[in-house]
Amino acid sequence: MKDIPVIHVTGESLAEAYEKALVSLYNNGLKIKTQYDKPGDPPSMDCTMNITVLNPKQDPLIHKAFPGGIEDLREYVMEVQGAKDHWTKNMNDPDDTRWEYTYHGRLA
């Protein structure tokens, strides 16, 4: 397997850094198949991404092209804060079909 690239981007605002991160991932990321891909899906993109936001409170705080809209953003924020941690599966129970991780668990 090819090494996973480490990418660093810097942006003035969160929106600018987010856009630069997506472009850099597309141009420099590793194309891989994951356990989440369905048959016929294109490969996923992977990297270790370091993002520096120079002025994090500068507007806009999110990119206008954020997928899903404001309701999905609220749900995502709640998940990052730990609201869905109870949805993670017991790894010792092979019959447990809940999520293997949450975003909060990955970031904590």
Write out the two tokens for 6: 């480490």
Q: What is the mean pLDDT of residues 53-57?
A: 87
How much of the chain exceeds pLDDT 70, in percent? 94
**pLDDT at site 17:** 92
Residue-wise pLDDT for 1-33, tens only, equals 679 999 999 999 888 999 999 999 999 999 999
Position 60 confidence tier, pLDDT thresholds 50, 70, 90 = low
pLDDT band at residue 61 under the 50/70/90 scheme: low
Could you tell me the pLDDT band of residue 90, with boundaries at 50, 70 and 90? very high
Q: Does the pLDDT of residue 71 top 90, yes or no?
A: no
**Alpha-carbon distance 83 to 88, whole Å?**
11
Average pLDDT in the chain: 89
Per domain, the residue ranges of the chain are 1-60, 67-108
CA distances from residue 66 to 10, 19, 45, 77 in whole angstroms, order as listed: 18, 10, 18, 13
DSSP class of 88:
B
* Cβ atoms of 46 and 30 closer than 8 Å: yes
Cβ burial of 50 (10 Å; 0-12, 13-18, 19+) is exposed
Q: How far apart are CA 73 and CA 75, in angstroms?
A: 5
Residues 6+ apart with CB under 8 A from 21: 7, 9, 49, 51
State how far the Cα of 17 lies from the Cα of 25, in Å rounded to an integer. 12
Mean local confidence (pLDDT), 56-71: 76
